[in-house]
Amino acid sequence: MPETRSHPLRTRTATAAMSLLVASSLLAGPPALAQSAPQGGGLPDLTHLVEQVGPAVVNIRTMERSRSPQMPPGMDEEMQEFFRRFFGQPLPGTPRQGPPGQGQGPGQGPGQGEGPQRRGVGSGFILTQDGFVMTNAHVVDGAEEVLVTLPDKREFKAKVIGTPDKRTDIAVLKIEATGLPFVRIGDANRLKVGEWVMAIGSPFGLDNTVTAGIVSAKQRDTGDYLPFIQTDVAINPGNSGGPLINMRGEVVGINSQIYSRSGGFMGISFAIPIDEAIRVAEQLRTSGRVTRGRIGVQIDQVSKEVAESIGLGRAQGALVRSVESGSPAAKAGIEAGDIIVRFDGRTIDRPTDLPRLVGNTKPGTRSSITVFRRGNTRDLQVQVAELEPEQAQRQASGPQSKPPAGSALAQSVGLAVAELSEAQKKELNIKGGVRVEAVADAALRAGIREGDVIVAIGNTEISNVREFEAAVAKLDKSKPLPVLLRRGEMATYLVLRPQG
């Protein structure tokens, strides 16, 4: 999805000062000046909000030491940065190495030779009066020098605190100043769809630009760890890292991404909920990096058809496609094909809920986990481990040994299957199942492939060919039949329709 990158930003580090700031912001009542909500259906007056929050919103410029690339004629730095943020590459005709733009930006001539060169423009906001600033990680990614300019035109060199968190796109900066204006932190959970919100930032380098709109939706899944706030507030390159403000003058989000087919604003923008951002910022300030939990599973969504056919009811939970050997999940007894429906007492409605809950759990914590398996739920205990930065994903691989001969043919579903050898079972880390030798008719339409291993039909486990044939003989040909199979190291459900 094209983005203004406003990237996702993750930070962690929380000092007592920040914790007290957040707590006081949440407990304090709405300021008198912030009562700007429309009375009687009129449009809101945002002037008081701008006066209240504007002084704490900053412009962020980054510098990078490298040789300036040759830019196409007529293409300045802002256009170059715009193209890179939305499409992930330089403008056509521009060398790929080096920063995304060294052209003639505001207040500077074209970059020449080597030395600090202006690379990008973003926004941020002051968290504390002693100079902690929050922005997007992508705004400062790769920068050798970061300059923060306040609305009163004071400019400071900023230090990036810890390692900006790319997973959530959050970064924390520190400038050496005191007595600074700072924002009030709001509660993103109190936001309602249709509520008026406002953004302040530096789109295309135009400092202190104010735009407004409404909350279009909440809990949008556009990232592994973040349920974004969707708005129709105009957001463009340079707005990245700026605050999303409610009608009480509180920051409820960080403007981070847009959806666009053209590269420009099209009425859909996304903000990181401020509670998620503060959680990351606290970790960055206290330890310099973000620590997340992991249990070692690969997951997928559960379709409505599968949920109904296996007795789960509604489509919910996270289907476990594979379990990493020796991982916390494996030690807890979680199996490929399980559907995780609860974690630490919290319901898993969508697959993306699980990595968020696990990721926010402190490594070493012993957590409860509920799985749906073969028509029944089971409660297990898992000890959460630490997610390593940029952890390499294991590649799935299928059985390599040659399957034994002697397939049995089940004409009604279009499958020929064979016994698994002990070596194949060991390789897949399963107790039993049958290997698909040939596929036709209903099985072919369902997406079953030669080489798949069927481990359950309906809610009945399959250990060998005899059990497979017995299960097929009991089929109700008028109903869809869920089949749990392994494809390499991955488990998935497919639905057979014998009469389809």
Binding-site members for substrate are 138, 169, 238-240
Residue 7 designated active-site: no
- Binding positions are 138, 169, 238-240
Task: Return contacts of 322-326, CB within 8 angstroms, 24+ apart.
Answer: 322/297, 322/298, 322/394, 322/396, 322/489, 322/490, 322/491, 323/296, 323/297, 324/296, 324/297, 324/394, 325/429, 326/296
Write down the catalytic residue from 6, 25, 68, 138: 138
Residue 240 designated active-site: yes
122 beta partners: 60
Q: How many residues does the chain have?
A: 500
Residue 48 designated active-site: no
* CA separation for the pair 343, 499 (Å, rounded): 38
How far is C-alpha 282 from the chain's CA centre? 19
* CA separation for the pair 217, 113 (Å, rounded): 47
Write down the catalytic residue from 169, 207, 353, 452: 169
Q: Give the CA distances from residue 81 to residues 112, 119, 438, in Å, rounded to whole numbers and listed in that order.
A: 18, 8, 53
Q: Give the CA distances from residue 38 to residues 44, 328, 405, in Å, rounded to whole numbers and listed in that order.
A: 5, 52, 76
What amino acid is encoded at 271 in this protein? Answer: A
Write down the catalytic residue from 6, 25, 68, 240: 240
Residues carrying an active site annotation: 138, 169, 240
